[in-house]
């Protein structure tokens, strides 16, 4: 039995060739500019027919308040992360100074095996310290970016948020019918 008979046949190439012969218009290259123009036209028609509804004040207030809350939480989280990473850097620096003192003490006593052991630990802590400093600098950049984003959001949206809050806090009188119904 030949290996050819054991393999399933792949008819995709034959189907593609037949379809190409029967329907050559399906295989014309696509003009991207023409497609973009058509999509722009469709979007314009859709925007004309679809009237934009005004967003209720409560919905807009909730959205803006949620954005502010999320930005404050993210800024706080990045600040905490920076503080933690700064603590890690201080910890590694303390470990490094302790190991250097221990290595000098062991060398002074003549215990070269312990001094070599401390040397290996010093190399490990130095690598950890370098990584912690890199993480700290990255976290500091993120922290400054989130603080800047929060300040920008507040300058752009705080007046609207205050206006919506004032609007929602003022009671609305619907009409005389509402007063007479009591």
24/53: higher pLDDT: 24
And the tokens for 154? Answer: 């507040």
Fold type of domain 57-168: Helix Hairpins (1.10.287)
Tens of pLDDT along 47-72? 777 766 777 888 999 999 999 999 99
Q: Which contacts of 95-99 are long-range, i.e. CB under 8 A and separated by 24 or more positions?
A: 95/125, 96/122, 96/125, 96/126, 96/129, 99/125
Length of the chain: 182
**166 within 8 A of 55, measured Cβ to Cβ:** no
Structural domain spans, the chain: 57-168
The pTM (predicted TM-score) of the whole model is 0.60
And the tokens for 114? Answer: 């312990």
């Amino acid at each position: 039995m030949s290996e050819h008979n054991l393999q399933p046949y792949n008819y995709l190439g034959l189907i593609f060739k037949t379809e190409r012969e029967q329907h050559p218009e399906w295989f014309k290259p696509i003009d991207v500019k023409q497609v973009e123009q058509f999509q722009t036209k469709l979007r314009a028609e859709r925007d004309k027919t679809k009237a934009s509804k005004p967003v209720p004040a409560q919905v807009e207030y909730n959205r803006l308040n949620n954005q502010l809350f999320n930005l404050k939480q993210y800024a706080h989280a990045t600040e905490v992360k920076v503080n933690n990473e700064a603590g890690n850097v201080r910890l590694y620096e303390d470990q490094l100074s302790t190991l250097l003192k221990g290595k000098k003490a062991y060398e002074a006593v003549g215990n070269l095996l312990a001094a070599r052991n401390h040397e290996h630990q010093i190399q490990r802590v130095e690598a950890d310290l370098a990584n912690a400093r890199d993480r700290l600098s990255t976290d500091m950049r993120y922290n400054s970016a989130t603080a800047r984003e929060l300040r920008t959001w507040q300058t752009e949206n705080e007046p609207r948020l205050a206006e919506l809050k004032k609007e929602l806090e003022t009671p609305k009188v619907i009409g005389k019918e509402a007063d007479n119904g009591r």
